[in-house]
A and B are shown apart, each in its own frame.
Chain A
Amino acid sequence: DGGITQSPKYLFRKEGQNVTLSCEQNLNHDAMYWYRQDPGQGLRLIYYSQIVNDFQKGDIAEGYSVSREKKESFPLTVTSAQKNPTAFYLCASSMEEYTDTQYFGPGTRLTVL
């Protein structure tokens, strides 16, 4: 079945460690996105990518990094520079940037111990 997958579902990290969240899609979508959700807040855009080997910062990119080496994959690294990394992270993809419906993965809940 076509869809978008994220792994792991739950992730625990010690303070000061980098951690990478996986996002894979087989929908043949060009655009991919990473969002963060915190309690009482809307989804906030971290990074997005319109095409392979290209990505742009979103509203809260500090402390995060991404890569887009393959169309299907858009991993997000939460670095030790991210001051408040504990959150729920959602990955999404769409056929075209923004204007098209975005399809979301199931999310990864990251907890920093």
Chain B
Amino acid sequence: ILNVEQSPQSLHVQEGDSTNFTCSFPSSNFYALHWYRWETAKSPEALFVMTLNGDEKKKGRISATLNTKEGYSYLYIKGSQPEDSATYLCASSGGSNYKLTFGKGTLLTVNP
């Protein structure tokens, strides 16, 4: 079983601050890295899927990067807003069966 680690576990920022979180994963037999946003009382929502080393994806104020050689991905949020408050999950796939292994998530709270 792959071991996917996310840090920090939780984060409080003020509205307007920019922030970032880390996802680390085993770099051997890597296939894809997924980021999801999970708001309270809603379903997890896909943000990005990245597969190639050096990939960068962007959706509005949120962007992500991928380093498959060293096994990490960063998620950045520029100018955080209260509606960005959610748990951000990353998941990695690889190995012999490519199943997704999820990290425990980073809980972001943006204070107005």
Contacts and interface: CB of A to CB of B under 8 A. Distances in A.
B21 to A, nearest CB: 14
Contact of A42 (B4, B32, B34): B4
B32 A99 contact: yes
Interface string A11-53: 0000000000000000000000001000011111100100000
B1 A59 contact: yes
Interface stretch (A67-75, A77-85, A101-109): A101-109
Contacts, number: 51
B99 A104 contact: no
Chain A interface secondary structure, helix, strand, loop or mixed? Answer: loop
A77 to B, nearest CB: 21
Contacts of B36: 104
Interface residues of A, number: 23
9 contacts: A42-B4, A99-B31, A99-B93, A99-B98, A102-B34, A103-B46, A104-B44, A106-B42, A107-B43
Interface of A: 4, 35, 40-45, 48, 58-59, 90, 97-107
Given A42-B104, A43-B91, A90-B44, 17 more contacts: A40-B104, A42-B89, A42-B103, A58-B99, A59-B1, A98-B32, A98-B93, A98-B97, A98-B98, A101-B34, A101-B46, A102-B46, A103-B43, A104-B36, A105-B43, A106-B42, A107-B43
